[in-house]
Amino acid sequence: MANQLPKNPSDIIWLSSGFIGDVILTTAGTELAAKRFPNARQHVITTPIGVKALAHARGLTSLIAFNKHSKSTLQAFKDVKTAVSHHLQPSETVMLQVHRSFRSSLLARYLAFPTITYHETNLAFLAQEKVTRVAVFHEAARISLLLEPLGIDRKDIQTAKPFLSSETLRPDIGNLLDGNAKGWVAVAPGSVWGTKRWTTSGFVELIKMILADGYGVVLVGSKAEEDVAAEIFKSIQPTDALKNLVGATVLEDLPGLFNRCKLLVSNDSSPIHFASAVNLPTVAIFGATIPEMGFGPLGEHSTSVGISLQCRPCSDHGPMTCPLGHFRCMKDLLAALVFAQVKPLLQIPTRYS
């Protein structure tokens, strides 16, 4: 491994193979790096799903898939090295290791580029330079902190925001959203983590309030969330103003879809970060977690909603079930309280015309 970091790198490699939200927030760093090093090529090593999520990222020279769940870790390492190493010079390249896992540290070492990571990273001693993850920063800023050893000012780091292009949308989706004069509200009712999901009945009541105000609602989410979306859909009287696109869209569709919406209502999950990356106003619902952990929405006019309980937050990610058995953080959150946050955002002039 080279002994020092390049002062003016020709290539910047981001190793971001964690949760999809973290991958999206990495674009805050790539945007900042592009301003400081306009001639540098930027590459992102991420998961196969991360490659899809970054399809509309700006200014990336390459997206390299790291199949970290491959049966052969060594082969996965070799595949990445083949993709990134043959045209890069270690003396002019820097790797920014976002993902702090043991495996990512080994991959960074295997690739043998000068590396910047966090003091808190597993096997951090393998890296060339370490920075401290500042707990009170948003995750977008914490990721961008990896640029500080390259001379980027912390004031700029603290205001870094993710970005995805939202200019394109599949015609079949766009056609579904025609014909609603007041605009559409995207609702994302799912989450990988059980205690991050607001109740189905809460979403049903909220959607009814939005529809009663004359706005359309489009449900968004992955195939894994089709059951909860179907339950919501069947609990509301059929109307052309309610569209269910859960399982019918892919990650690449979200930026363009969100660009057609007035706002997003979402659990603490990756749709928040897609919305932040296209500057969509968002009402984020927090249960087991809290926005102060660094994953709240960053779009203009965005806000978060949750109820105050001594047991919140109960973990970093939110367990699958309530540790105390009552799940009050979501069960006691009334639709009227959420709608009180939604209502003012509906008055913002329509983004799409």
Closest CA to 56 of 225, 260, 257, 217: 257
- Tens digit of each residue's pLDDT (9 = 90 or more) over 57-109: 999 999 999 999 888 999 999 999 999 877 787 889 999 999 999 999 999 99
Provide the residue-wise pLDDT of the chain in tens; the chain has 353 residues. Answer: 445 888 899 999 999 999 999 999 999 999 999 999 999 999 999 999 999 999 999 999 999 999 998 889 999 999 999 998 777 878 899 999 999 999 999 999 999 999 999 999 999 999 999 999 999 999 999 999 999 999 999 999 999 999 999 988 899 998 989 877 789 999 999 998 989 999 999 999 999 999 999 999 999 999 999 999 999 999 999 999 999 999 999 889 999 999 999 999 999 999 999 999 999 999 999 999 999 999 999 999 999 999 999 999 998 888 899 999 999 999 999 999 999 999 999 998 877 65
Query: What pTM was computed for the model?
Result: 0.95
Task: Write the CB contacts of 155 (distance below 8 Å, at least 6 apart in sequence).
Answer: none
Query: Can you give the pLDDT at residue 3?
Result: 58
- Buried/exposed 306-345: b ≥16 CB within 10 Å, e otherwise: beeeeebbbeebbeeebeeeebebbeebebeebbebbeeb
Same fold: 11-158 with 171-346: yes
Whether 220 and 177 have beta carbons less than 8 Å apart is answered as no
Query: Which tokens is 72 given?
Result: 């052969």
Query: Can you give the pLDDT at residue 352?
Result: 65
The CATH architecture one would assign to domain 171-346 is 3-Layer(aba) Sandwich (3.40)
CA gyration radius, the chain: 21
- Tens digit of each residue's pLDDT (9 = 90 or more) over 103-144: 999 999 999 999 999 999 999 999 999 999 999 999 999 999
Whether 95 and 104 have beta carbons less than 8 Å apart is answered as no
Query: Can you give the pLDDT at residue 2?
Result: 47
Task: Write the CB contacts of 86 (distance below 8 Å, at least 6 apart in sequence).
Answer: none
State the Cα–Cα distance between residues 232 and 221, nearest whole angstrom: 13
Closest CA to 33 of 106, 112, 98: 98
Amino acid (1-letter code) at residue 146: L
Task: Report residue 219: phi and psi, to 5°.
Answer: -80, 135
Closest CA to 345 of 304, 301, 305: 301
Query: Can you give the pLDDT at residue 1?
Result: 44
Query: Which tokens is 65 given?
Result: 């898939």
Q: Could you tell me how far CA 292 lies from the centroid of its own chain? A: 16
DSSP 3-state helix, strand, coil percentages of the chain (rounded to 5)?
40, 15, 45
Q: Could you tell me how far CA 269 lies from the centroid of its own chain? A: 7
What CATH number labels 11-158? 3.40.50.2000
Tally of residues, the chain: 353
How is the chain split into domains, by residue range? 11-158, 171-346
Query: Which tokens is 203 given?
Result: 């979403």
Closest CA to 276 of 86, 53, 118, 37: 53
